[in-house]
Structure 1
Amino acid sequence: MDTKLVMSDEDEASDKLSRQALSFFLHLVVALGTWVGLMLVGYAVQPSVPQAFILLLSLVVPAGVGFLFLRAKPEPMAGHVWLAGVIWMMIVSLWILDMPTGPNACNDCNASEKLTRALFSFPRPSGLIDDNGPFLCTWPAAALIGYSIGARLAMRRKD
Protein backbone atom coordinates (compact mmCIF):
# COMPACT_ATOMS: atom_id res chain seq x y z
CA MET A 1 0.00 0.00 0.00
CA ASP A 2 2.89 2.39 0.74
CA THR A 3 4.34 1.86 -2.74
CA LYS A 4 1.06 2.91 -4.35
CA LEU A 5 1.06 6.08 -2.28
CA VAL A 6 4.65 6.87 -3.31
CA MET A 7 3.87 6.19 -6.98
CA SER A 8 0.79 8.38 -6.73
CA ASP A 9 2.87 11.25 -5.32
CA GLU A 10 5.46 10.82 -8.07
CA ASP A 11 2.76 10.81 -10.75
CA GLU A 12 1.23 14.00 -9.34
CA ALA A 13 4.65 15.66 -9.23
CA SER A 14 5.45 14.71 -12.82
CA ASP A 15 2.00 15.87 -13.97
CA LYS A 16 2.54 19.21 -12.24
CA LEU A 17 6.00 19.53 -13.79
CA SER A 18 4.66 18.78 -17.28
CA ARG A 19 1.87 21.33 -16.86
CA GLN A 20 4.40 23.94 -15.73
CA ALA A 21 6.72 23.20 -18.67
CA LEU A 22 3.84 23.35 -21.14
CA SER A 23 2.59 26.59 -19.61
CA PHE A 24 6.09 28.10 -19.75
CA PHE A 25 6.53 27.27 -23.43
CA LEU A 26 3.03 28.45 -24.34
CA HIS A 27 3.70 31.81 -22.70
CA LEU A 28 7.08 31.90 -24.45
CA VAL A 29 5.32 31.41 -27.79
CA VAL A 30 2.71 34.09 -26.97
CA ALA A 31 5.44 36.59 -26.01
CA LEU A 32 7.54 35.91 -29.10
CA GLY A 33 4.42 35.87 -31.29
CA THR A 34 3.54 39.31 -29.96
CA TRP A 35 7.03 40.54 -30.82
CA VAL A 36 6.88 39.02 -34.33
CA GLY A 37 3.50 40.70 -34.87
CA LEU A 38 4.98 43.98 -33.67
CA MET A 39 7.87 43.63 -36.14
CA LEU A 40 5.56 42.79 -39.05
CA VAL A 41 3.18 45.66 -38.36
CA GLY A 42 6.01 48.07 -37.57
CA TYR A 43 7.94 47.40 -40.75
CA ALA A 44 4.77 47.47 -42.84
CA VAL A 45 3.73 50.84 -41.44
CA GLN A 46 7.07 52.62 -41.04
CA PRO A 47 10.31 50.73 -41.80
CA SER A 48 12.65 53.54 -40.71
CA VAL A 49 11.75 53.63 -37.00
CA PRO A 50 14.68 54.42 -34.66
CA GLN A 51 16.12 51.39 -32.87
CA ALA A 52 15.65 52.87 -29.41
CA PHE A 53 11.92 53.26 -30.09
CA ILE A 54 11.71 49.65 -31.32
CA LEU A 55 13.44 48.51 -28.12
CA LEU A 56 10.90 50.46 -26.06
CA LEU A 57 8.00 48.99 -28.05
CA SER A 58 9.53 45.51 -27.70
CA LEU A 59 9.22 45.94 -23.94
CA VAL A 60 5.88 47.76 -23.70
CA VAL A 61 3.70 45.90 -26.23
CA PRO A 62 4.45 42.38 -24.89
CA ALA A 63 4.05 43.75 -21.34
CA GLY A 64 0.56 44.93 -22.29
CA VAL A 65 -0.29 41.60 -23.90
CA GLY A 66 1.05 39.72 -20.88
CA PHE A 67 -0.97 41.93 -18.56
CA LEU A 68 -4.21 41.41 -20.49
CA PHE A 69 -3.59 37.70 -21.04
CA LEU A 70 -2.88 37.07 -17.35
CA ARG A 71 -5.79 39.19 -16.15
CA ALA A 72 -8.07 36.76 -17.99
CA LYS A 73 -6.33 33.57 -16.82
CA PRO A 74 -3.68 33.82 -14.09
CA GLU A 75 -0.76 31.46 -14.55
CA PRO A 76 2.32 31.67 -12.30
CA MET A 77 4.74 30.31 -14.91
CA ALA A 78 4.18 33.34 -17.17
CA GLY A 79 6.24 35.46 -14.82
CA HIS A 80 9.29 33.28 -15.44
CA VAL A 81 9.53 33.75 -19.21
CA TRP A 82 12.14 36.48 -18.68
CA LEU A 83 14.65 33.73 -17.90
CA ALA A 84 14.48 32.49 -21.49
CA GLY A 85 15.19 36.04 -22.70
CA VAL A 86 18.22 36.44 -20.46
CA ILE A 87 19.56 33.00 -21.41
CA TRP A 88 19.06 33.79 -25.12
CA MET A 89 20.89 37.09 -24.70
CA MET A 90 23.80 35.36 -22.93
CA ILE A 91 24.11 32.71 -25.65
CA VAL A 92 24.18 35.31 -28.43
CA SER A 93 26.59 37.47 -26.40
CA LEU A 94 29.03 34.57 -26.09
CA TRP A 95 28.73 33.94 -29.82
CA ILE A 96 29.48 37.61 -30.55
CA LEU A 97 32.45 37.66 -28.17
CA ASP A 98 33.88 34.61 -29.93
CA MET A 99 33.71 36.28 -33.37
CA PRO A 100 36.90 37.56 -34.96
CA THR A 101 37.24 41.28 -35.61
CA GLY A 102 38.63 43.00 -38.65
CA PRO A 103 37.96 45.81 -41.09
CA ASN A 104 34.22 46.65 -41.10
CA ALA A 105 33.72 44.17 -38.25
CA CYS A 106 34.42 46.06 -35.02
CA ASN A 107 38.15 46.35 -35.67
CA ASP A 108 40.19 46.75 -32.44
CA CYS A 109 37.09 46.55 -30.19
CA ASN A 110 37.30 45.34 -26.62
CA ALA A 111 34.67 42.94 -25.25
CA SER A 112 32.27 45.53 -23.86
CA GLU A 113 32.44 47.68 -27.00
CA LYS A 114 31.86 44.59 -29.13
CA LEU A 115 28.69 43.75 -27.19
CA THR A 116 27.34 47.32 -27.04
CA ARG A 117 27.87 47.91 -30.72
CA ALA A 118 26.58 44.48 -31.78
CA LEU A 119 23.53 44.22 -29.50
CA PHE A 120 22.46 47.86 -29.26
CA SER A 121 24.18 49.45 -32.30
CA PHE A 122 25.51 52.11 -29.93
CA PRO A 123 27.25 54.43 -30.80
CA ARG A 124 27.21 52.81 -34.25
CA PRO A 125 26.71 49.24 -35.53
CA SER A 126 29.65 46.87 -35.19
CA GLY A 127 29.46 45.05 -38.51
CA LEU A 128 29.24 41.74 -36.65
CA ILE A 129 26.33 39.39 -37.46
CA ASP A 130 25.46 41.70 -40.36
CA ASP A 131 24.35 44.45 -37.94
CA ASN A 132 21.34 42.33 -36.94
CA GLY A 133 22.21 42.08 -33.24
CA PRO A 134 19.18 44.04 -32.03
CA PHE A 135 16.82 42.05 -34.26
CA LEU A 136 18.29 38.63 -33.44
CA CYS A 137 18.97 39.12 -29.75
CA THR A 138 18.07 42.35 -27.97
CA TRP A 139 14.49 42.90 -29.13
CA PRO A 140 13.25 39.30 -28.63
CA ALA A 141 14.89 39.21 -25.18
CA ALA A 142 13.25 42.55 -24.35
CA ALA A 143 9.90 41.14 -25.47
CA LEU A 144 10.24 38.16 -23.13
CA ILE A 145 11.26 40.41 -20.24
CA GLY A 146 8.39 42.80 -20.99
CA TYR A 147 5.87 39.96 -21.15
CA SER A 148 7.05 38.74 -17.74
CA ILE A 149 6.72 42.22 -16.28
CA GLY A 150 3.16 42.52 -17.59
CA ALA A 151 2.32 39.05 -16.28
CA ARG A 152 3.70 39.84 -12.83
CA LEU A 153 1.78 43.12 -12.68
CA ALA A 154 -1.45 41.37 -13.66
CA MET A 155 -0.98 38.67 -11.05
CA ARG A 156 -0.06 41.20 -8.36
CA ARG A 157 -3.26 43.16 -8.98
CA LYS A 158 -5.28 39.95 -8.96
CA ASP A 159 -4.16 39.07 -5.40
Structure 2
Amino acid sequence: MPLATRSGTPAEAVPALRRPQLAEARRVRAAELLEQGRPQTEIARILGVTPESVRRWKRRWEQGGTAALRRRPATGRPPKLADAQVEQVRAVLEQGAVAHGFESELWTLERVGRVVERTTGVALARASVWRLLTVRLGWSLQRPQRVAAERDESEIARWVAHEWPRIKRGP
Protein backbone atom coordinates (compact mmCIF):
# COMPACT_ATOMS: atom_id res chain seq x y z
CA MET A 1 0.00 0.00 0.00
CA PRO A 2 1.64 3.30 -1.04
CA LEU A 3 2.05 6.03 1.50
CA ALA A 4 0.58 9.47 0.86
CA THR A 5 1.88 12.92 1.67
CA ARG A 6 -0.26 15.59 3.32
CA SER A 7 -1.44 16.74 -0.09
CA GLY A 8 -2.69 13.21 -0.82
CA THR A 9 -0.12 12.42 -3.50
CA PRO A 10 1.63 9.04 -3.27
CA ALA A 11 4.95 9.03 -1.46
CA GLU A 12 7.88 6.65 -1.77
CA ALA A 13 7.58 3.82 0.80
CA VAL A 14 10.92 4.34 2.55
CA PRO A 15 10.89 3.49 6.25
CA ALA A 16 11.90 6.38 8.48
CA LEU A 17 15.07 5.94 10.53
CA ARG A 18 14.44 5.43 14.20
CA ARG A 19 16.53 7.09 16.91
CA PRO A 20 18.94 4.12 17.44
CA GLN A 21 19.54 3.90 13.69
CA LEU A 22 20.28 7.62 13.52
CA ALA A 23 22.75 7.38 16.41
CA GLU A 24 24.53 4.47 14.73
CA ALA A 25 24.70 6.36 11.43
CA ARG A 26 26.20 9.34 13.29
CA ARG A 27 28.90 7.14 14.89
CA VAL A 28 29.77 5.49 11.56
CA ARG A 29 29.99 8.93 9.91
CA ALA A 30 32.35 10.00 12.70
CA ALA A 31 34.56 6.99 11.90
CA GLU A 32 34.63 8.01 8.23
CA LEU A 33 35.65 11.55 9.17
CA LEU A 34 38.31 10.22 11.56
CA GLU A 35 39.74 8.12 8.71
CA GLN A 36 39.98 11.31 6.65
CA GLY A 37 42.12 12.83 9.41
CA ARG A 38 39.62 15.53 10.42
CA PRO A 39 40.09 17.08 13.89
CA GLN A 40 37.75 15.80 16.62
CA THR A 41 36.34 19.28 17.32
CA GLU A 42 35.42 19.68 13.65
CA ILE A 43 33.75 16.25 13.63
CA ALA A 44 31.79 17.18 16.75
CA ARG A 45 30.62 20.42 15.09
CA ILE A 46 29.68 18.65 11.82
CA LEU A 47 27.67 15.94 13.61
CA GLY A 48 26.16 18.21 16.27
CA VAL A 49 27.59 16.26 19.22
CA THR A 50 30.00 17.03 22.04
CA PRO A 51 33.75 16.59 21.56
CA GLU A 52 33.68 14.05 24.42
CA SER A 53 31.35 11.84 22.37
CA VAL A 54 33.76 11.96 19.45
CA ARG A 55 36.66 11.05 21.76
CA ARG A 56 34.70 8.10 23.15
CA TRP A 57 33.77 6.91 19.64
CA LYS A 58 37.40 7.28 18.52
CA ARG A 59 38.60 5.03 21.37
CA ARG A 60 36.01 2.38 20.46
CA TRP A 61 36.87 2.72 16.75
CA GLU A 62 40.62 2.34 17.41
CA GLN A 63 40.02 -0.79 19.50
CA GLY A 64 37.46 -2.55 17.30
CA GLY A 65 37.04 -0.68 14.03
CA THR A 66 33.71 0.42 12.59
CA ALA A 67 32.05 -2.75 13.88
CA ALA A 68 32.59 -1.49 17.45
CA LEU A 69 30.41 1.53 16.63
CA ARG A 70 27.46 -0.53 15.42
CA ARG A 71 24.34 -1.02 17.53
CA ARG A 72 24.37 -3.88 19.96
CA PRO A 73 21.32 -6.07 20.55
CA ALA A 74 18.99 -4.85 23.26
CA THR A 75 19.72 -6.25 26.68
CA GLY A 76 17.17 -7.35 29.21
CA ARG A 77 14.49 -9.94 29.42
CA PRO A 78 13.02 -11.00 26.06
CA PRO A 79 9.34 -10.21 25.52
CA LYS A 80 6.85 -12.86 26.65
CA LEU A 81 5.03 -12.72 23.32
CA ALA A 82 6.76 -13.36 20.00
CA ASP A 83 5.96 -11.07 17.06
CA ALA A 84 3.74 -13.75 15.51
CA GLN A 85 1.76 -14.01 18.76
CA VAL A 86 1.37 -10.22 18.88
CA GLU A 87 -0.10 -10.25 15.36
CA GLN A 88 -2.40 -13.10 16.39
CA VAL A 89 -3.56 -11.02 19.39
CA ARG A 90 -4.10 -7.99 17.10
CA ALA A 91 -6.37 -10.03 14.82
CA VAL A 92 -8.33 -11.41 17.77
CA LEU A 93 -8.79 -7.98 19.40
CA GLU A 94 -9.95 -6.45 16.12
CA GLN A 95 -12.89 -8.87 16.16
CA GLY A 96 -14.31 -6.88 19.08
CA ALA A 97 -15.06 -7.59 22.71
CA VAL A 98 -18.58 -8.93 22.11
CA ALA A 99 -17.16 -11.63 19.82
CA HIS A 100 -15.24 -12.91 22.85
CA GLY A 101 -18.18 -13.16 25.20
CA PHE A 102 -18.13 -9.69 26.80
CA GLU A 103 -21.37 -7.76 27.13
CA SER A 104 -20.08 -4.52 25.55
CA GLU A 105 -17.45 -3.49 22.98
CA LEU A 106 -15.42 -1.74 25.69
CA TRP A 107 -11.90 -3.15 26.00
CA THR A 108 -10.33 -2.91 29.45
CA LEU A 109 -6.85 -4.06 30.45
CA GLU A 110 -8.40 -6.98 32.33
CA ARG A 111 -10.46 -8.06 29.33
CA VAL A 112 -7.51 -7.79 26.96
CA GLY A 113 -5.39 -9.77 29.42
CA ARG A 114 -7.97 -12.56 29.53
CA VAL A 115 -8.18 -12.70 25.73
CA VAL A 116 -4.38 -12.73 25.42
CA GLU A 117 -4.19 -15.62 27.87
CA ARG A 118 -6.93 -17.56 26.04
CA THR A 119 -5.28 -16.91 22.66
CA THR A 120 -1.61 -17.46 23.48
CA GLY A 121 -1.56 -19.21 26.85
CA VAL A 122 0.60 -16.39 28.25
CA ALA A 123 -0.65 -14.53 31.34
CA LEU A 124 0.34 -10.85 31.38
CA ALA A 125 0.26 -8.33 34.21
CA ARG A 126 -1.80 -5.17 33.67
CA ALA A 127 1.35 -3.13 33.00
CA SER A 128 2.45 -5.66 30.39
CA VAL A 129 -0.98 -5.57 28.73
CA TRP A 130 -0.70 -1.76 28.58
CA ARG A 131 2.78 -2.04 27.01
CA LEU A 132 1.48 -4.62 24.53
CA LEU A 133 -1.34 -2.32 23.44
CA THR A 134 0.59 0.94 23.29
CA VAL A 135 4.14 -0.06 22.33
CA ARG A 136 3.89 -3.28 20.36
CA LEU A 137 0.47 -2.74 18.74
CA GLY A 138 0.71 1.05 18.54
CA TRP A 139 -2.80 1.61 19.90
CA SER A 140 -3.82 4.50 22.13
CA LEU A 141 -6.24 5.05 24.97
CA GLN A 142 -9.78 5.83 23.80
CA ARG A 143 -12.39 6.76 26.36
CA PRO A 144 -16.08 6.40 25.49
CA GLN A 145 -18.03 9.64 25.58
CA ARG A 146 -20.46 9.61 28.46
CA VAL A 147 -23.99 10.63 27.51
CA ALA A 148 -27.00 10.29 29.76
CA ALA A 149 -29.38 7.57 28.53
CA GLU A 150 -32.37 9.81 29.39
CA ARG A 151 -31.05 12.77 27.35
CA ASP A 152 -33.77 14.19 25.09
CA GLU A 153 -32.29 16.67 22.59
CA SER A 154 -35.72 18.04 21.52
CA GLU A 155 -36.68 18.74 25.15
CA ILE A 156 -33.34 20.48 25.75
CA ALA A 157 -33.86 22.66 22.66
CA ARG A 158 -37.41 23.54 23.81
CA TRP A 159 -36.15 24.45 27.30
CA VAL A 160 -33.36 26.66 25.92
CA ALA A 161 -35.74 28.39 23.50
CA HIS A 162 -38.72 28.92 25.89
CA GLU A 163 -37.87 28.35 29.55
CA TRP A 164 -34.39 29.90 29.74
CA PRO A 165 -35.47 33.32 28.33
CA ARG A 166 -38.37 33.36 30.81
CA ILE A 167 -36.05 32.55 33.72
CA LYS A 168 -33.49 35.09 32.53
CA ARG A 169 -36.12 37.90 32.41
CA GLY A 170 -36.94 37.26 36.02
CA PRO A 171 -40.28 37.66 37.86
TM-score (norm 1): 0.28
The one of the two structures with greater contact order (alpha-carbon pairs below 8 A, sep at least 6) is 1
Structure label with greater radius of gyration: 2
Structure with the largest fraction of helix: 1
